Structure 1
């Protein structure tokens, strides 16, 4: 099992919208993530900088970041594009983070 982390940027004042949308995560998106090896997925917010910190546990060689061509993912990105920093294709600007410490 791999542990992956990355950061994204939430637009100012969008905390509640972001949380509400994720509290109502589409079942088909959740199923897609699980089918592609994502067994755990957490997102944290640093309110001082509006930085989102995401953490995933993944089996296999893929992650949520590898599903860019899936129609469900594209639809989700379009749904989220108004409240966070995105690329021209609506994918979130996502910066991978290097793991420097892990304790079991």
Structure 2
């Protein structure tokens, strides 16, 4: 199982709405994440709009590609794009950070 941490940058002006949207993630989006192997998935918000994600998956690249192929994810990413400080959607912008320590 891979433990993956990644960062993304949000536009500070959109933070309240972004947070609200994630209080009500569509059930079909949650089902899609589970079906494509995303487990123990969390998002954290740091000052300045830095979004930090953590997920456990068998294969991060395969899980990400599986999500990108689903219509529900395409709809979600289209709606989320204006929140990010990037022209790429989150699926393409998220890059794993190297793990340098882990305590079991």
**Superposition TM-score tier, normalisation by shorter sequence:** 0.7 to 0.9
Question: Partner of 2:68: helix, strand, or coil?
Answer: coil
Question: Partner of 1:22: helix, strand, or coil?
Answer: helix
In structure 1, the partner of 2:44 is 44
For 2:39 and 2:83, locate their aligned partners in 1 and report how far apart those are by CA, in whole Å: 26
TM-score between the two structures when normalised by the length of structure 2: 0.84
Are the counterparts in 2 of residues 39 and 59 from structure 1 also a CA contact under 8 Å? no
The answer to which of 72-81 and 54-63 deviates more is 54-63
For 1:31 and 1:50, locate their aligned partners in 2 and report how far apart those are by CA, in whole Å: 27
In structure 1, the partner of 2:57 is 58
Gaps of 5+ in 1: none
Are the counterparts in 2 of residues 10 and 50 from structure 1 also a CA contact under 8 Å? yes
Gaps of 5+ in 2: none
In structure 1, the partner of 2:101 is 101
Alignment of 1:16-95 (within 5 A): 16-47=16-47, 49-59=48-58, 62-63=62-63, 65-66=64-65, 67-88=67-88, 91-92=89-90, 93-95=93-95
Higher helix proportion: 2
Aligned residues: 100
For 2:96 and 2:59, locate their aligned partners in 1 and report how far apart those are by CA, in whole Å: 18
TM-score between the two structures when normalised by the length of structure 1: 0.84
